[in-house]
């Protein structure tokens, strides 16, 4: 473009590039997301222990069994993430379930990244020397970067987490992130009061992530129906959309006589 525009450019996006879907546990979120993979070119990157054990879905699970450790899950995550990256574009939709588990992995990922940096070259090293052998996450002496006093280390876990979000954008054109919701409290005259809801993530991460996605919604129940609520209520940051058509409560599924019917076409046109 060699001149400044005079005309209004029409909006072109009709589907959310990044959608965060939140719910309380055991609402059927995994079943609804798993059903999506049976109908669309989608895959679940399952980061939760036992999350999709009983759910039919196209999936990659970092926990191979109940005995799998967090360190083993992290190693599986890196392997599967890199495999997806090598085959970027193979799946139209990447479903990451869930964000709280990715936040947990960021404790390890952020620590390893810090250990490889100039300022952290003595961290988790034998003898406290930069030339010492690295102490790995499966060893009892291993320390997390988040243990550094005054919360200094959390910037490294946040960076690793957001780096993963950037990588996911390279893997698939559309991303769905599943997460749990927690109540937000304030103290008033010495008493705690619930004033809204938040994504179950650590510290500033919940606000940083919420500002970078297309839409956030909370799954709500109405008998056998499940709806995605995009309305922002009270002091909540678990809802909202940049797409005008995604507003209010939108039907996503209903269960009748044990049969599940999903309506993802209401979200992705």
List pLDDT tens digits, range 90-121: 999 999 999 999 999 999 999 999 999 999 99
List pLDDT tens digits, range 143-202: 999 999 988 899 999 999 999 999 999 999 999 999 988 765 445 555 544 345 678 888
Task: Report the chain's terminal Cα–Cα distance, integer Å.
Answer: 31
| pLDDT of residue 235 exceeding 60 | no
C-alpha span between 34 and 47 (Å, rounded): 14
Q: 41 near 92, Cβ under 8 Å? A: yes
Please report, for the chain, the start and end positions of each structural domain, with discontinuous segments joined by +: 18-266
C-alpha span between 93 and 108 (Å, rounded): 27
The β-bridge relationship of strands 191-199 and 174-188 is antiparallel
C-alpha span between 112 and 163 (Å, rounded): 14
Reported as type and span, the H/E element at residue 253 is: strand 249-256
pTM: 0.90
List pLDDT tens digits, range 26-40: 899 999 999 999 999
CATH architecture of 18-266: 3-Layer(aba) Sandwich (3.40)
Bridge partners, 193 (sequence order): 186
């Amino acid at each position: 473009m060699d001149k400044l525009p005079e005309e209004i450019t029409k909006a072109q996006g009709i589907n959310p590039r990044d959608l965060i879907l939140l719910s309380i546990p055991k609402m059927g979120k995994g079943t609804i997301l798993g059903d999506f993979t049976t109908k669309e070119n989608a895959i679940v990157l399952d980061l939760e222990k036992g999350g999709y054990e009983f759910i039919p879905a196209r999936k990659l699970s970092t926990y191979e069994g109940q005995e799998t450790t967090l360190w083993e899950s992290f190693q599986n995550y890196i392997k599967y993430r890199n495999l997806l990256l090598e085959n970027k574009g193979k799946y139209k939709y990447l479903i990451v379930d869930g964000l709280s588990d990715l936040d947990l992995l960021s404790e390890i990922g952020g620590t390893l990244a810090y250990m490889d940096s100039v300022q952290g070259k003595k961290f988790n090293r034998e003898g406290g020397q930069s030339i010492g052998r690295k102490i790995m996450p499966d060893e009892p002496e291993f320390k997390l970067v988040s243990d550094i006093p005054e919360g200094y280390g959390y910037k490294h876990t946040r960076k690793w987490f957001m780096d993963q979000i950037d990588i996911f954008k390279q893997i698939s054109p559309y991303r769905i992130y599943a997460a749990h919701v927690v109540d937000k409290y304030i103290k008033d005259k010495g008493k705690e009061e619930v004033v809204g809801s938040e994504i179950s993530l650590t510290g500033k991460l919940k606000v940083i992530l919420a500002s970078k996605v297309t839409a956030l919604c909370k799954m709500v129940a109405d008998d056998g129906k499940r709806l995605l609520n995009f309305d922002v209520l009270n002091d909540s940051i678990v809802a909202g959309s940049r797409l005008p058509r995604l507003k209010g409560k939108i039907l996503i599924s209903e269960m009748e006589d044990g049969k599940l019917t999903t309506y993802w076409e209401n979200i992705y046109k």
